[in-house]
Amino acid sequence: MIEYIALILAIPLGFIFAKITEDEKEIYSKSPYFPIILWGLAIAAAIFYIINKQIALTLIFIFLMVFTWNRV
């Protein structure tokens, strides 16, 4: 149950991180930091969903947070 609450909090946390790191946006937006991380997280979450759902939910949480952080 706590995993689902963490998943709900992932998007607001991404907005908060984007606001905190607003000064560094020009640094991490030019290099391919987030696209590589997002692909890796998506593939790892898909693999771990079969093996262990708790790890998969954690990876999905991180994916949603980084995706929101990148889009803001």
CA neighbor of 56 nearest in space, from 16, 19, 3 = 3
pLDDT of 54: 87
Contacts of 36 (CB under 8 A, 6+ apart): none
What phi, psi does 22 have (nearest 5°)?
-60, -35
Q: Mean pLDDT, to the nearest integer, of 26-41?
A: 82
Mean pLDDT of 48-57: 91
pTM over 0.75? The answer is: yes
Nearest-10 crossing angle of helices 2-20, 53-71: 30
Any idea where the domains of the chain sit in the sequence? 2-71
* Alpha carbon distance 22, 63 (integer Å): 19
